[in-house]
Structure 1
Amino acid sequence: MTAVGAQPIERGLLIGDTEIPAASGRITEHLDPVTGEVHSRMAAAGKEDVDRVIAAAHAAFPQWAGTPASQRRLILERAAQLLSERVGEFTELLLGETGGTRAWAAFNVSMSVDLLRQAATMATEPTGKMLATDDPGKWSMAVGAPAGVVAAFVPWNGPLILCTRAVAVALATGNPVVIRPSEDAPITSGYFLADLLIEAGVPAGAVTVVTNERSDAPEVVEALIANPRVRRVNFTGSTTVGRIVGRHAGTYLKPVILELGGKNPIVVLDDADLDHAARGVAFAKFFNSGQICLSVDRIIVLESVADEFTEKFLAAVDRVVQGDPTDPRTLVGPMINARAAERVAGLVQDAVSKGATVLRGSGAPEGAFHPATVVADVTPDMRLYHEESFGPLATIYRVATVDDAIALANDTEYGLSSAVYTENATRGLDVARRLEHGAVHVNDHSVADDPQAPVGGVKDSGFGRFGSQWGADFFTETRWVTVADRHSEYPL
């Protein structure tokens, strides 16, 4: 949290290795969600600033793409080491910018270190292959080359993880990156990592940052995607904004990765270890106040164990520490702002007015704080059945059969992450095969993550995959190159 009376952090647009104000001189302020104090003041870019930032990135492209692969690898490894030493610094920034807890800050750092180290290995991976050819006089090759400037749109909720995921593989494969961080977390979802990468040795311009006033976001987003020097786009955020980014990418013919919202289910079968499942589900729901794209939204339990599971789950919820984000034990701290807490309260109110039952929590939010809440008897006529809660709000459903559980889990426009608790691996794999989600975790929770994994969704949860072993092809252009070892005969 921002200490009362503390001097706000001030940052300009990061262009090359310097910071400059917006051409208009405008700034935008960000408030600490807990104290309401001004936490930071950022340059508020317009279209002309976007063009300058991209020009700097494009100018850095030849140098960065031409940097020896082993050197790029070393720089990313050095960045990982620097990051591992700065847990305390990042934690204080996260507390003041998003109200995220100390546990969430530590997880952001540890996961980002792993992502950087894994991405570093991609710098020295083979960049092409020999192809079969019917012409004995030619060598035929598929060669991967860096694509060019990457526009990376980063959200506030997992700021360092999602910023690292957006830029690390792109940098490893020789591409400069323009980071457009969230208006709600410009430092932790942008500047913090950019500063660290530059300190580690990324040359001037290979990492740049552009920030904007919220009202200018549509203009800035389109300007970033429309610029002909931008060759790749990646976006993590809401499905609503993802559709806009996708439309622009289509209009301007830019390859894009979209990782969007989720209505993530966890299925609890009748042979599950219910104590283990209850703890895992409670963690998957309430870590970072449920503000993780992979957080569980729907808990689907077979009727034969529903009473016992619900009792154990509610007991786990009662043990969840809520409130002060500076307390290392806190799991549910403030939400990103009071508007977010009010939106969650509105979902509960709508559901209750239509017959839902509140098993824990509810009540009016206090500023950005909303209590950990559990609701049952949710039906399709309620907003909560369809909308992503993105907060400390869980729903429990009872079903008669495994087929019913799978049908309910798939009854959503989203398809990001899911899980199934069972002590029978064969049964779990059968359920996993039938769940229409980008990730399925058997006997583990939906927030499970791994730097080597292909992260992304299906349906309205987006398309394309982040991940060091899966994203490298996205950030390269495949070129067909032939070399003739003798003169060809031409019919001329």
Structure 2
Amino acid sequence: MDNFDYDLQSVQETRNLARQAKLAQTQLAKFNSEQIDKIIRNMVKVAGENAASLAKLAVEETGFGKVEDKIFKNNFASAELYEFIKPMQTIGIIKDDKVNRIIEIAEPVGLLMGIIPSTNPTSTAIYKSIIAIKSRNGIVFSPHPAALKCTLQAARLMNDAAVAAGAPANIIGCISKPSKDSTNELMKCDEVAMIIATGGSAMVKAAYSAGKPALGVGPGNVPAYIERTADIPKAVKNIMASKTFDNGTICASEQSVIVEECMRDQVMEEFRRQGGYFMTPAETNLVAAKLFVGGFAMSGKMVGRSAAVIADSAGIAIPPGTKVLLGEQQGVGKEYPLSYEKLTTVLAFYTVKDWQEACELCIKLLNNGGVGHSLSIHTENHEMVMKFAEKPVFRILVNTPSTHGGVGASTGLSPSFTLGCGTWGGSATSDNVTPMHLINIKRVAYGIKDFSENTTPSYSASVAQSGSPSAISDDQIMNVVNEVILLLKKRGDN
């Protein structure tokens, strides 16, 4: 089959999926809370039963990450997510304000398009399927070609589980012949009401350019600042746990470590003790050359790989048991390649004089590809936390692994695999996306103020002519002056 035939079939398949899912969604829109909850419970059950097989399939197909961590992500995107969203009111009357006499009624958005990344393919498909159904929406996925099999399987399992529990057929779809044309077709087709895009900057930008509502999330370039009051062993342990989780494939993972001069040696020793290897400048350059292609885009061969695989590819020798590679950097930008996002087991390492310099460096790093996303700080000083809360991000993660903290696993944030970066990062939301972002709210508003008669205040002719209610004419001023003079004269006579 030539490319032309493939593209035609791809576009036609996409149109069919959109039509079928939209038809199903119009039926799902009539379901009540009990029916929806029954469907989601079965989806969660099936996701749990297949968490391991989906994780294995994802690693085999993409080569990214670790099976055990992808199992955790699949369970987190289903069971943990369900516990969080279960009490959410997304159907019917969701608020009745007796004082202001406003009734709020939830309505579904319609058909969603879900763009799925290769780094978290099955967990993101599960998560988006569940939040779509919770808000009575249908969804059609556009998978990354490098993760087609596992994304397709996750989508099929979710659709079959939903239908088995009473959902209309074809409520969850997935393109099986992915192409640029099919993705563009799905973005712009009339059936799709909203796009949820999780992926690279180019894909997110395309989603926002499609001419319809979109929730897109850009990259993270998370700085992790270890402040002088921090519990150093605990801080290093959190960073190592986060950066090695699924070999760093989650965009909330740390990308740079920042330490103060007064604790530099102690932090470096702790990293070495826990499995970190500090590369020489020459080794750092060799690794950086392997990490990036075409500028500072991550090479697919290096995404989500172990430290051993990266070191072997770069031709450098590292101690057995090394978990993370660290390279010292003296600045931010093109001359310092590790200052960019690295979705793998490599960290940049910076030394600063004090917290003010750490502040400036964090801002530079965030503006280098992660503005709006997340920042990590390890400290026992609450005032320092609040100083860093002023930085241009929407998640300030304190004394926790930023991977787990950002997605809501180790913090009280909403469990999510779509982390909004706000307007600073070119996103329509700064939240962790939940079903509440996928509903329209209709409002019934009773009159509570009487405007049945004209109550507009009237102005005098002089004020109207002056153009300002505070303007006073010259005659008025002279009259006041004369009255004051007369009053003073009378007092003098007395």
Q: Which of the five TM-score ranges fits, normalised by the shorter chain?
A: 0.7 to 0.9
Q: Aligned partners of 2:16 and 2:103: how far apart in 1?
A: 37
Amino acid at match of 2:399: N
Equivalence for 1:295: 253
Q: Please say which of residues 447-456 and 271-280 is displaced more in the overlay.
A: 447-456
Amino acid at match of 1:430: M
Paired residue secondary structure (1:265):
strand
Amino acid at match of 2:363: N
Q: How does 1:62-461 map to 2 (within 5 A)?
A: 62-99=26-63, 100-113=65-78, 114-122=80-88, 127-130=93-96, 141-200=103-162, 201=165, 202-213=167-178, 216-217=179-180, 219-248=181-210, 252=211, 254-318=212-276, 342-344=290-292, 362=311, 364-365=313-314, 372-380=324-332, 381-384=334-337, 386-411=339-364, 412-413=366-367, 414-415=370-371, 416-424=373-381, 426-448=382-404, 449-450=407-408, 453-454=413-414, 455-458=419-422, 459-460=424-425
Amino acid at match of 1:375: G
| 1:154/1:166 contact within 8 Å kept | no
1:318 CA drift (Å): 4.6
Q: Aligned partners of 1:151 and 1:222: how far apart in 2?
A: 11
Paired residue secondary structure (1:186):
helix
| 1:269/1:301 contact within 8 Å kept | yes
Backbone CA RMSD of aligned residues: 3.5
Q: Aligned partners of 2:17 and 2:123: how far apart in 1?
A: 23
Paired residue secondary structure (2:220):
coil
1:478 CA drift (Å): 2.4
**Residues 371 and 431 (structure 1), Cα distance of their counterparts in 2 relative to 1, 3 Å cut:** same
Q: Aligned partners of 2:224 and 2:9: how far apart in 1?
A: 42
1:365 CA drift (Å): 4.3
Q: Aligned partners of 2:2 and 2:134: how far apart in 1?
A: 30
| 2:70/2:123 contact within 8 Å kept | no
TM-score by length of 1: 0.73
| 1:77/1:117 contact within 8 Å kept | no
Paired residue secondary structure (2:348):
strand
| 1:362/1:371 contact within 8 Å kept | no
1:443 CA drift (Å): 0.8
**Residues 406 and 127 (structure 1), Cα distance of their counterparts in 2 relative to 1, 3 Å cut:** farther
Structure 1 unaligned runs (5+)? 1-20, 28-43, 321-339, 349-358
Q: Aligned partners of 1:288 and 1:261: how far apart in 2?
A: 17
Q: Aligned partners of 2:183 and 2:436: how far apart in 1?
A: 24
| 1:266/1:298 contact within 8 Å kept | yes
| 1:50/1:210 contact within 8 Å kept | yes
Equivalence for 1:331: none
CA deviation vs aligned residue, 1:406-425 (integer Å, no higher than 9, x gap): 2211213223122111133x
Paired residue secondary structure (2:145):
coil
Q: Aligned partners of 1:441 and 1:140: how far apart in 2?
A: 37
Structure 2 unaligned runs (5+)? 279-287, 297-306, 316-321, 453-494
CA deviation vs aligned residue, 1:434-486 (integer Å, no higher than 9, x gap): 2322211111121123276253224236342565xx633432222234689xx
Equivalence for 1:11: none
Q: Aligned partners of 2:393 and 2:85: how far apart in 1?
A: 25
Q: Aligned partners of 1:45 and 1:268: how far apart in 2?
A: 53
**Residues 197 and 228 (structure 1), Cα distance of their counterparts in 2 relative to 1, 3 Å cut:** closer
CA deviation vs aligned residue, 1:205-236 (integer Å, no higher than 9, x gap): 211111334xx32x222211211221111101
**Residues 184 and 373 (structure 1), Cα distance of their counterparts in 2 relative to 1, 3 Å cut:** same
| 1:465/1:471 contact within 8 Å kept | no
Equivalence for 1:464: 429
Identity %: 17
Amino acid at match of 2:360: A
Q: Aligned partners of 1:262 and 1:474: how far apart in 2?
A: 21
Bigger proportion of residues as helix? 2
TM-score by length of 2: 0.73
| 1:74/1:120 contact within 8 Å kept | no
Q: Aligned partners of 1:434 and 1:422: how far apart in 2?
A: 16
CA deviation vs aligned residue, 1:319-372 (integer Å, no higher than 9, x gap): 99xxxxxxxxxxxxxxxxxxx993349989xxxxxxxxxx99746348xxx984
Amino acid at match of 2:57: L
**Residues 79 and 284 (structure 1), Cα distance of their counterparts in 2 relative to 1, 3 Å cut:** same
1:48 CA drift (Å): 2.3
**Residues 148 and 177 (structure 1), Cα distance of their counterparts in 2 relative to 1, 3 Å cut:** same
Is it true that 1:61 corresponds to 2:25 in the alignment?
A: yes
| 2:261/2:353 contact within 8 Å kept | yes
**Residues 346 and 56 (structure 1), Cα distance of their counterparts in 2 relative to 1, 3 Å cut:** closer
Q: Please say which of residues 264-273 and 80-89 is displaced more in the overlay.
A: 80-89
Q: Aligned partners of 1:55 and 1:89: how far apart in 2?
A: 30
CA deviation vs aligned residue, 1:110-161 (integer Å, no higher than 9, x gap): 2112124433443666644346799xxxx75332211110111111212233
How many corresponding residue pairs? 404
Q: Please say which of residues 181-190 and 116-125 is displaced more in the overlay.
A: 116-125
Q: Aligned partners of 2:16 and 2:110: how far apart in 1?
A: 16
